[in-house]
Amino acid sequence: MAVNPKDRPSEERINDFDEVNLGYTDEEAVKEAQRCKECGVCIKGCPVRINIPAFISQIKKKNFKRALSIIEKDNILPGICGRVCPQENQCEARCIMDNPINIGALERFLADKKVPKDIGIYPSKNNKKIAIVGSGPAGLTSAFELKKSGFEVVVYEALHKLGGVLRYGIPNFRLPDEIIDEEIEQLKKMGVQFRTNFLIGKTLYLDELLDKFDGIVIATGAGLPRYLKIPGENSIGVFFANEFLTRINLMKAYKFPEYHTPIYKGKKVVVIGGGNVAIDAARVARRLKSEVMICYRRLEEDMPARNEEIQHAKEEGIEIKTLLNPKKIISKDDGKIKKVKFVKMKTVGKQQDGRNAVVETEEYIDIETDIFIEAIGQIPNKIIQQNSKGLEFDSWNSLKIDENMETTKNNVWAAGDVVSGAATVIKAMGEAKKAAEKIIKEIGG
């Protein structure tokens, strides 16, 4: 029987921003580990290729420190990945067991043990310098790999805090700040240098970085919100999910006025979208004591969010309405939102990706609300190219790269959401590792 880590009861957790999932106790972890056949099939499902059977084997023997050091050979962010990786589509999807081993939960368990970690200082040994732009999972991973190989590494980040979406997007109840801090601290100890408040393209230009460094990794993510472009969108009470989440996660507006950034609250909140971002925004709103509804244009089975998170949202009392697409926002005289007009959708067979295709019907409904949050996707922003030439983007703003992860500009590589469009933490990390390997091959000598 699989051992699953416990969640805090939903009535309790909607009152705070503390973590929902409690993680394993030692006994639970060992028991879960014992189910593993150590066949190694799952490794192919992990984009950073952690030696999963090896670390699980050490858990069985209660050698937690050894187990963690096996993970940290390939992944400097185990506490983060163990929590937010869509394991069910990655390593765990490959597991040979009918009831897959909870690999992610075991990884998190080890990261949380806080045993003194085996990361040494890595002196620069090849006299080569690499600049990394962006401190999200892609930037952090390439920094780790390059530092390990003896490069001098400097990470430039636009915001005042490190971590990218991990910091400003994913809420604390799924990924506490301390976990991000600790894992970044490891990188600092290794000798990676960080410069916050540097927007490349404005504070320094890409071409200036190229003069000072031997190579650059662009890992600027996909931070530009897409929005519905429907009438009334700029009414008061209408948010793009990024703003709502940034106020809460980065600026800690839920602790206003102790923290100085306010958040606009409402009795009723409607969130549009079906991905992780929509679910996170809804669960945050719930913790601000609102009545929350998620409206999605397809069916629940088509929602791209992690299943576990959809279940969590439902447990927390969030209503999910499907086959609804917003057409118009109607506001009151004072500019505040009053209601949203939706068109009802219907399914018409399946798309290529297996999800339901939908079309509009002629039926409409109005839903009254105080807050309306749009979480329909993000694309990369192109600030990095300002005042420099030679980078090429496709029509979705994704940076073009070749099979060596190199951009159209010499000595400039790229990885993560800026290349793939909004994806996942572990995909961004997998690509970042690949980019680092190419750099090591090309200029590491």
Partner 1 sequence: MRNQIVKKEKIASKTYSFWIYHPEIVSHYKPGQFIILRVTEKGERIPLTIVEVDREKEIFRIIFQVVGKSTRLLSKIDENEMILDILGPLGNEVRINKDVANILFVGGGIGIAPLFSKIKEFLKEKKLKGSVILGARSSENLILENEILEITRNIYITTDDGSKGKKGFVTDALRDLLNTNEDIDLVISAGPVKMMKKTVEIAKKNKIDILVSLNTLMIDGTGMCGGCRIEYDNKTRFTCVDGPVFDGYKVNFQQLIKRNNQYHSHECKIKNLEDNL
Residues that bind ligand SF4 (CB under 6 A): 36-42, 46, 48, 50, 52-53, 56, 75, 81, 85, 87, 90-91, 95-97, 101, 103-104, 107, 426
Residues facing 62 on adjacent strands: none
104 binds, among ligand SF4, ligand FAD, partner 1, none (CB under 5 to 8 A by kind): ligand SF4
With CB under 8 A as the contact rule, the residue among 227, 308, 328, 355 that binds partner 1 is: 227
70 binds, among ligand SF4, ligand FAD, partner 1, none (CB under 5 to 8 A by kind): none
Locate all alpha helices (DSSP H) within 267-389, ordered by sequence.
276-287, 307-315
Structure tokens at 19: 């973590």
53 binds, among ligand FAD, ligand SF4, partner 1, none (CB under 5 to 8 A by kind): ligand SF4
Task: Give CA–CA dist 156/135, Å, rounded.
Answer: 7
Closest among 152, 143, 147, 140 to 212, alpha carbons compared: 152
Residue 247 CA, distance from chain mean position:
17
CB of 247 to ligand FAD, least distance (A): 13
Asked if 305 and 195 count as a contact pair (C-beta separation under 8 A), the reply is no
With CB under 8 A as the contact rule, the residue among 45, 225, 273, 377 that binds partner 1 is: 225
Q: By CB under 8 A, is residue 380 in contact with partner 1?
A: no
Q: Tokens 């009723």 appear where?
A: 268
With CB under 8 A as the contact rule, the residue among 55, 122, 144, 198 that binds partner 1 is: 198
Task: Give CA–CA dist 18/16, Å, rounded.
Answer: 6
- What are the strands, taking DSSP E only, across 37-144? 129-133
Comparing CB distances to ligand FAD, the nearer of 157 and 370 is 157
Dihedral of CA atoms 10, 311, 429, 249 in degrees, nearest 10, equals -40
- Residue 259 DSSP code: S
CB of 240 to partner 1, least distance (A): 4
Give the binding-site size for partner 1 (rule: CB under 8 A).
Answer: 42
Binding residues vs partner 1 (CB under 8 A) = 158-160, 168, 196-199, 202-205, 223-225, 227, 229, 233-234, 236, 239-240, 242-243, 246-247, 250-252, 255-262, 264, 334-335, 381, 383
